[in-house]
Structure 1
């Protein structure tokens, strides 16, 4: 099975759960956070920048 096909099927199942039960919303958000999508509420906007110190 292709990985993109698996992703599409997973998203379809999560959308069906979202429409069927209120608990499905948390499943959809969990999948969104696992795939690091922009709609994940736990995704931070800060980035870590490495600093170089010269003496």
Structure 2
């Protein structure tokens, strides 16, 4: 296998690793209760999906 001929600096290594950060999930507003929720999923607050009650929330 090939081995590196010269050592890479710490800044060069860290520049490569700089893009491994997590991104926030894209949240949308629920049309029923206006709380943030993940798109294409049932709202955890009111239990509605596509203007229909899918689960009964207490």
> TM > 0.5 between the two?
no
Greater share of strand residues, 1 or 2? 2
Greater share of helix residues, 1 or 2? 1
**TM-score w.r.t. length of structure 1:** 0.26
- Please tell me whether Structure 1 or Structure 2 has the larger radius of gyration of its CA atoms: 2
